[in-house]
Amino acid sequence: MKRITELFCIIVLLPALNLMSQVPVRPMKDVAGFKTRLNSMSATISTIESDFVQEKNLSVLANKIISRGHFCFKKENNIRWEYMQPYKYLIIINKDKIFIKEESNQKQYDIQSNRMFQEMNKFISGCIQGDILKNDKEYNVGYFEDDKYFFVKLVPVSEKIRQMLNEVQIWFDRNDLTVSRIQMIESGGDYTRIDFTGKKLNTDIPVEKFSFR
């Protein structure tokens, strides 16, 4: 419960994003204090709603692939990622089920039946709730900061995972500890960056948002 609440804190308040072009390199002074604040913040949050901009940077392309959408989270473990531009694509994670809807196709999967979905769910919810920071068996976690952000860097321990995902970076706003950006860097240097904007905390998100029809 507490962990889930942390999740909320992470994505909630999304700050000015244009200041995040540089990665903070100063080691975090008070890691324990940061974790404690994150726990207490997450305890107060039941829902998170936010717009997002996803940027995919491939070395083969000169420009980035940019997609936009809307994100919702509701306790317990209900997540909705809705891509709106330039394509429509919807992912709903509802406890142990995952739903995927494309323009002409929709499917439902049992998360437990598919290793890939298990990992995907663990990763998404872990990033949102902050649980991923506690996973020091699977990730080497580094803590940094600058004047505006707490910055956490996670490097997968497994060589096999590192072949796919080299590093995960999470930016937390210093003021409210909400997640401002998640960046996933692949082994070849290509990366996916997700910036969260226009967030709303503890709004009444209908349960229907997390059902699949």
Q: Which residues bind other proteins (CB under 8 A)?
A: 54, 56, 58, 60-63, 65-67, 81, 83, 85-87, 89, 91, 100, 102-103, 105, 107, 116, 120, 160, 163-164, 184, 186, 188, 190, 192
**Residue 11 structure tokens:** 């994505």
Q: Taking the complex as a whole, how short is the minimal distance between the CB of residue 106 and other proteins, in angstroms? A: 11
Name the residue among 139, 130, 136 with its Cα closest to residue 165: 139
Residue 54 or 197 having the CB closest to other proteins: 54
Residue 64 or 134 having the CB closest to other proteins: 64
**Angle, in degrees to the nearest 10, between helices 115-129 and 2-12:** 70
Q: Which residues of 33-68 are buried (b: 16+ CB within 10 A; e: fewer)?
A: ebeebbbebbeebbbbbbbbbbeebeeeeeeeeebe
Residue 68 or 209 having the CB closest to other proteins: 68
Residue 34 or 81 having the CB closest to other proteins: 81
Q: How many CB atoms lie within 10 A of CB 93?
A: 21
Residue 5 identity: T
Q: Taking the complex as a whole, how short is the minimal distance between the CB of residue 112 and other proteins, in angstroms? A: 17
Q: Taking the complex as a whole, how short is the minimal distance between the CB of residue 192 and other proteins, in angstroms? A: 3
Q: Taking the complex as a whole, how short is the minimal distance between the CB of residue 169 and other proteins, in angstroms? A: 14
